[in-house]
Chains A and B, each alone.
Chain A
Amino acid sequence: MREKRIHPRFGPLVIKTAFTVGSDQRVGYLTNLSEGGAFLAVDDPPPLGAEVEIRATLPWRLGELRAGTRVAWRSKGGSEASGKLSGVGLAFEELDPKAREILDAYLAKFAELAARIEEMEEG
């Protein structure tokens, strides 16, 4: 079945992220990001439907992204060869204007850098 995405997904990334599930505070890595959500690579992923508060310092001096999210899907990972990471797909639920601005700026910068390659002439 062909995957349908509302928002373009940017990745692979690696952004260290502090996250909270209930009173449990942990650290994981965002490995892709879109306007609607992210994949959080983490061992022992939180359960489906859990509310996850994330805090990630984005590169290029963009600031800290804080967002309320919910676990939309889970991956227990696979063998190393499969390249399938253990973690959760997160859907953004609460993004205040500041967080939206930071996220948009990050995605725009990433797209701009990627566009440099698209526009290159082959050597």
Chain B
Amino acid sequence: MALNGRLEDLNLLEILQIVAFSKKTGTLEVQAPHAQGSILFRGGRLLCAFSSSTAAAVRSLAGEPLDPAHQSDLESQIRISLRELVALREGRFEFRLCRSLPVQWGGLDASNFLMGDGIDPEAILLGLAREIDEARRDTARLLETSDVLEEVEPGAASSDEGLPGDVSLAEAGLTVLVVDDEPLVVQIVSQELVDAGCVVESASNVEQAVDRISLILSRARSSLVVVTDAGMPTSTGDGFDGGFEVIERLRGLGGTDGATPVLLMAESITAKGRARARRLGVQKIALKPTLTKLDPEEYGADLRSFARALRRELSDIALVSPGRPTPPPEDPNLNHEAIFDFLKTMTDQLAAPANGITRMILRVASKYVERAVLFLVKDGRAIGLAGAHHGRPTAEVVDEVRAIAFELQHVQPFAEVVYSRSPVRVTEGREPVVSALDPGRSREQALFPLLHNHEVLAVLYCDNPTTGAPLSKLTGLSLFLVQAGMALENASLHRKLHSMENRYSLEDQGPLTEELTPIVRNGL
């Protein structure tokens, strides 16, 4: 008999409990792919510990006489070591029993740095568990507050290349209605948008615009963006704010029209006009070249430049629009390269996931399946956080999903994912996994865990309710979720470090002390 095995089966927190309970003397060795460590016990109490990053510090302290200051430093290093070791997700462990304390331990002379009677394992365990839970709460908050409908870095959209990993306007499948009483503006802007892959329609006055809007919206699954000039004659001819009238009448059409994105063009606009545009839900205001230019060539060049800028703005609007239907999933079997490139770009974006990680996860999932819903796992419950469903506006899906909550133990596949921390595929012929989600023609469902420090922080539900097509291979999605979990942990750590940095700064204690260094180095 021995107490050894894989950390995947028995995590270090659990091993510490068993060894402490046994009240034995011995050493616990941990060997992971990128880290290792050892913990020394006497009578079940923690005498010392080191990890890859603290070994040097522990070694230097080991040679010192154990005065209170050194003892405190050593205890601090032990806590850091345990924090690092507890965070290891995979690797091997082995507890070796000793009749008495080994004189040599980890290449060190153990007799020099015994922590007196050792540290009470109960307090250490509780402290570690609280730290893990605090990090989990912090990460859950990141997910909960993550924007579902907006880009991570809106400013980046102004570059010519657009956002990394951005979908093109053609991919967005937009119909754009360009409204302006100035024919040259309509012509140049329309041409630019046609070149970008949009379906473009135009109107030169208010009534024509409203007719076109009604027609486009009546088409099934049309995704419309309206680009309108602000300064046009109104329909009654007694005003010159016809663009605003177009938007007011668009908003008055009912249904889902409140979600239709609008980009307002204006040669200039007052504060009052801006406020009115905001009230009407205008996404962007684009200042266009003035008509007072006497040189037609220069005016044309200015207009083309304006049209290019407008195209970028439109791309931004199209992507963040709550009314934009999620595009259909691609067949990864037919498009390996595109999927790989997309995943690579999205994984790169995970390097800074403080905002928008939920949206990124759903965007990747939408490449594979028709519907993806992310559930936060909290206190034994699954709580709908966000979702994407091909052909439906994101905002509508999110509203629907956020009304869903259930106890894990009542939904077996979810409980299975949480307990096994592994993906689960539910095959045809069973009851819908989540009764609140319309199963449509869904015949198969897949559930993926989003892990944080060994625990399932969220579960991603995927299916194809529209076509009922079998789920394709989802390996890429599964790997992306692993990366997302790690990115969330890193983001949580960064926030913690910033918070500590501020605290140190406020306390005027100078730069960060060595307390932080080992944690950073190991990416805990």
Interface residues of A (CB under 8 A from B): 10-14, 16, 18, 27, 29, 31, 41, 55, 57, 59, 61, 63-64, 80, 83, 85, 110, 113-123
Interface size on B, residues (CB 8 A): 35
Interface segment, one of B47-55, B90-98, B176-184: B90-98
Q: How far is the CB of A110 from chain B (nearest CB, A)?
A: 7
Total of A-B residue pairs, C-beta within 8 Å: 85
Can you give 9 A-B contacts (C-beta < 8 A)? A14-B125, A59-B14, A61-B420, A64-B380, A114-B21, A115-B1, A120-B97, A122-B98, A123-B26
Are B22's CB and A57's CB within 8 A?
no
Q: Which residue of B lies closest to A80 (CB)?
A: B123
Q: Contact: A29 with B1, CB < 8 Å?
A: no
What is the minimal beta-carbon distance from B156 to any residue of chain A, in angstroms? 40
Complex contact A114–B22 (CB within 8 A): yes
User: With A115-B1, A120-B3 as given contacts, are A57 and B380 in contact (CB-CB < 8 Å)?
Assistant: yes
11 new A-B contacts, CB < 8 A, other than A18-B379, A120-B95, are A14-B125, A41-B126, A61-B420, A63-B419, A80-B123, A113-B3, A114-B18, A114-B22, A116-B1, A117-B95, A118-B22
Chain B positions within 8 Å of A, measured between CB atoms, are: 1-3, 10, 13-14, 17-22, 24, 26, 95-99, 120-123, 125-126, 128-130, 133, 379-380, 408-409, 419-420
Known A14-B17, A57-B380: A117·B126 in contact at CB below 8 Å: no
For residue A83, which residue of chain B has the nearest CB?
B120
Give the CA-CA distance A22 to B241 in the complex, in Å. Answer: 61
Task: Please pick, from B1, B95, B98, the residue contacting A119 in the complex, using a CB distance under 8 A.
Answer: B1
| A123 x B419 contact (CB < 8 A) | no
Q: Is A117's CB under 8 angstroms from B3's CB?
A: yes
Contact check, A85 vs B126: say whether CB atoms are below 8 A apart. yes
Majority secondary structure, B binding face: helix
Distance (Å) between the CB of B23 and the closest chain A CB?
Answer: 9
Instruction: Give the CA-CA distance A49 to B10 in the complex, in Å.
Output: 36
Q: How far apart are A109's CB and chain B's nearest CB, in angstroms?
A: 10
CB distance from B154 to the nearest CB of A (A): 37
Query: Is there contact, CB below 8 Å, between B3 and A85?
Result: no
Tell me whether A110 and B21 are in contact in the complex, defined as CB-CB below 8 angstroms, given that A29-B126, A83-B120, A123-B96 are known contacts.
yes
